[in-house]
Amino acid sequence: MLQQEFQFSYTFLTHWHQLHAADQHLVDQANVAMQKAYAPYSNFKVGASVLLENSQIICGSNQENVAFPSGLCAERVALNYVGANFPDVAIDTLCVVARGELMPEDHMLSPCGGCRQVMLESENRQVPPIRVILVNQDHRTIILNTVRDLLPFGFGK
């Protein structure tokens, strides 16, 4: 038997205002997207913003459906739009914000397993890794340098 260990590093900030101006703009855009969320069943609104290598920002919000699980998470809305409309443009950064009682405010925000897999697939389609910024409801922020740190044993290649 061989014992293995998985470790990753991330940057932790007590407030997203500590981010550089460009990353703060991504948080602002994700918050705008979050306000457009359709979440009448969970009342948990999520917004995502994606910075492309060409400096364009694409946003998405969660879109629920009474025929669960027909809805989509914000991350998937934004990333699938990028894949469909900008298949040859690399993603630089993905930012995710959320508000609602589905997750306690003192718990760090983390994408669901399905979103992690879609994020990893997006990263696998390009050469550079995708930076991930997760902004908690209480404004604490985590920055990861690659999606792979969120899903080390992802499905696929």
Would you state the pLDDT for residue 146?
A: 97
Q: What percent of the chain has pLDDT over 70?
A: 99
Contacts of 2 (CB under 8 A, 6+ apart): none
Domain assignment present for 71: yes
Whole-structure pTM value: 0.95
Domain that holds residue 140: 11-147
The answer, yes or no, to whether residue 52 has pLDDT greater than 90, is: yes
pLDDT in tens, 66-106: 998 899 999 999 999 999 999 999 999 999 999 998 888 88
Average pLDDT, the chain: 95
Rg, Å, the chain Cα set: 15
CB 75 within 8 A of CB 115: yes
Q: Is residue 152 part of a domain?
A: no
Domain contains 113: yes
Q: Average of pLDDT values for 36-44?
A: 96
Q: Which residue has the tokens 């995708």?
A: 130
pLDDT of residue 111 exceeding 90: yes
Structural domain contains residue 154:
no
Q: Left (φ > 0), alpha (ψ -120 to 50) or beta: where does 53 sit?
A: alpha
d(CA 113, CA 96): 14
d(CA 92, CA 37) in angstroms, rounded, equals 23
User: For the chain, how many structural domains are there in total?
Assistant: 1
Q: Is residue 32 part of a domain?
A: yes
Residue 153 covered by a domain: no
Mean per-residue pLDDT for 117-137?
96
CA distance 144 to 8: 9
What's the pLDDT score for residue 156?
Answer: 79
Q: Report whether 103 contacts 138 (CB < 8 A).
A: no
Is 2 inside any structural domain? no
What's 62's domain CATH number? Answer: 3.40.140.10
Name which residue leads in pLDDT, 102 or 45.
45
Among residues 64, 75, 105, 123, the one annotated as catalytic is 75
How far apart CA 133 and CA 141 sit, in angstroms, is 7
Is 1 contained in some domain? no
| pLDDT of res. 122 | 97
Spatial distance between the Cα atoms of 5 and 55, rounded to a whole number of angstroms: 37
CA distances (Å), origin 105, targets 79, 100, 138, 139: 26, 8, 6, 9
pLDDT for residue 157 is more than 80? no
Catalytic residue list contains 53: no
